[in-house]
Structure 1
Amino acid sequence: MIACYKGHIRIAKYLLTLKASVNRKSVKGNTALHDCAESGSLEILKLLIEHGAVMDVDSYGELSSLRSERFKP
């Protein structure tokens, strides 16, 4: 999750080769996809979705990956 939030694509790719769970939730109920959306890394967002990440509601009950201003045209 930290690699996704910080935009470290190489680390995220490496963790995925080790079969890291893309849908694991933090204690707050957020996933790596939520953290990625918050930080604005489109490349990692696509990578997570390709590896089965599910756009689920965050701890606030919203789809943060869709509400992020960084991904609006």
Structure 2
Amino acid sequence: GNTGLHIACINGHEKVARSLVKYGINIDEKNTEGFVALYYAIYNGLVNTVKLLLDHGSYMECLDKYGNSILHIACELGYLEIIKYLLEK
């Protein structure tokens, strides 16, 4: 299943995601599909949430179950601001 953070990122609820991170949710927990919340933030173009998760230590080098990195996902979707941020990290 999904954690509250997964659900917040899937549904674009950046304020909820920020609150969950503030209260110490495990930001790198994978759901049953093998995805961390960061992937959903990227899929949905949630720039501020992507930055929040990375600034709070979300693991940038993790791969999804298909072997794609978060940079691959951002490039595939054409999210230039996220790509730039990832490359600067």
> What TM-score results when the alignment is normalised by the length of structure 2?
0.73
Residue 58 of structure 1 and its aligned partner are, at CA, apart by 0.6
Q: Among the aligned pairs, what percent are the same residue?
A: 31
Matched length: 72
Higher relative contact order (CA 8 A, sep 6+): 1
Structure 1 unaligned residues grouped into runs of 5+:
none
2:40 maps to a residue whose letter is D
The aligned residue for residue 61 of structure 1 is 67
Instruction: Tell me if 1:11 matches 2:19.
Output: no
Larger Rg: 2
Preserved contact between residue 40 and residue 70 of structure 1 (Cα < 8 Å): no
Q: 1:38 & 1:70 partners in 2: Cα distance?
A: 10
* In 2: Cα distance, 1:33 partner to 1:23 partner: 8
SS in 1 for 2:67: coil
Equivalent residue, structure 1, for 2:87: none
The Cα of 1:13 is off from its aligned counterpart by 1.0
Asked if the contact 1:7–1:36 (Cα under 8 Å) also holds between the matched residues in 2, the reply is yes
Q: Which runs of 4+ in 1 moved over 6 A?
A: none
CA RMSD of aligned residues (A): 1.4
Give the superposition deviation at 1:52: 0.7
Partner of 1:33: 38
